[in-house]
Structure 1
Amino acid sequence: MGKQVKNPADIGALVRSTRKEQNLRQDELAGVSGVGLRFIVDLEAGKPTAQIGKVLQVLQTLGCSIEVVKPTSYPNQ
């Protein structure tokens, strides 16, 4: 099931809920994702400056994917 995310807090909530559904602790997710525990804590808290490459790494580890959809039209045109 897809979920639209609009801000870093939405991504953090998605990571947290998916991690818990998979019965993983934050330190376990960090280890299998190749990132630090502090990164997972910050990501789940919705830190807006999280590195996109590491975010994608964590999402992939959890089995999530991202789809970016271009707008069909641009405002003021």
Structure 2
Amino acid sequence: MIHMSTISDSAALGQLIRAERKRQQLTQEQLAGVAGVGVRFVRELESGKESCRVGLALTVLQSLGLTVSITNRGASS
């Protein structure tokens, strides 16, 4: 099943990551290990802390099996 979410800020991204991590029954420590990032980064990402470390955030998303799609707000369906 494909589920799409609209992410408009770092807080919404963090909430999505936390929800998916919990759905997969992973601890923050386990996710950090799988993604190859620090536990502190996972905690800050889930709390919505703004960061310029987009590459690491994408790595965490990929580790959870999530993909990112960018669309133009002005585009019509």
| Deviation at residue 11 of structure 1 after TM alignment | 0.3
Q: Percent identity?
A: 40
Determine helix, strand or coil for the equivalent of 2:29: helix
Cα deviation, residue 72, structure 1: 3.8
RMSD in angstroms over aligned alpha carbons?
1.2
What stretches of structure 1 move > 4 A for 4+ residues in a row?
A: none
C-alpha contact (below 8 Å) 1:33/1:61 kept by paired residues = yes
2:32 and 2:26 map into 1 onto residues whose CA distance is 10
Asked which structure has the greater CA Rg, the reply is: 1
Kindly report which structure 2 residues correspond to 1:10-21, keeping only aligned pairs within 5 A, or say none.
10-21=12-23
1:51 to 17, 33, 53: 53
| Aligned ranges 1:55-66 → 2 under 5 Å | 55-66=57-68
Contact 1:19 1:62 in 2 (8 A): yes
- 2:48 and 2:20 map into 1 onto residues whose CA distance is 15
Gaps of 5+ in 1: none
1:3 aligns with 2:22: no
